[in-house]
């Protein structure tokens, strides 16, 4: 995880993932500032939910307007 970023947005992203689906494990998270009060992130997720899509996660993250770009990797476990 990106331990150097101290912005509240990091915890907000973690909370969105935790609340979205308890079967999702956040494997890696990188967040960086791309403008004043604007952030981009890369998430690596692990889940057994074969119906989970990056678009669904992006939609869930969209409640936080400061996240202007998200790249999401989903790894299925069986």
18-73 pLDDT, tens digit per residue, is: 999 989 999 999 999 999 999 999 999 999 999 999 999 999 999 999 999 999 99
Paired residues of 73 in beta bridges:
44
Question: pTM for this one?
Answer: 0.88
Answer whether residue 1 shows pLDDT above 90: no
What would the DSSP string read from start to end of 5-16?
Answer: --SHHHHHHHHH
* Residue with tokens 């990106």, as numbered in its chain: 2
**Hey, what domains does the chain have and what are their CATH numbers?**
8-28+38-76 (3.30.70)
């Amino acid at each position: 995880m990106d331990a150097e970023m101290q912005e509240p947005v990091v915890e907000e992203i973690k909370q969105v993932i935790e609340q979205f689906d308890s079967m999702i494990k956040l494997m890696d998270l990188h967040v960086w500032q791309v403008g004043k009060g604007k952030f981009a992130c890369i998430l690596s997720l692990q889940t057994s939910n074969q119906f989970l899509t990056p678009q669904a996660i992006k939609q869930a993250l969209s409640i936080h307007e400061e996240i202007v770009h998200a790249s999401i990797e989903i790894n299925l476990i069986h």
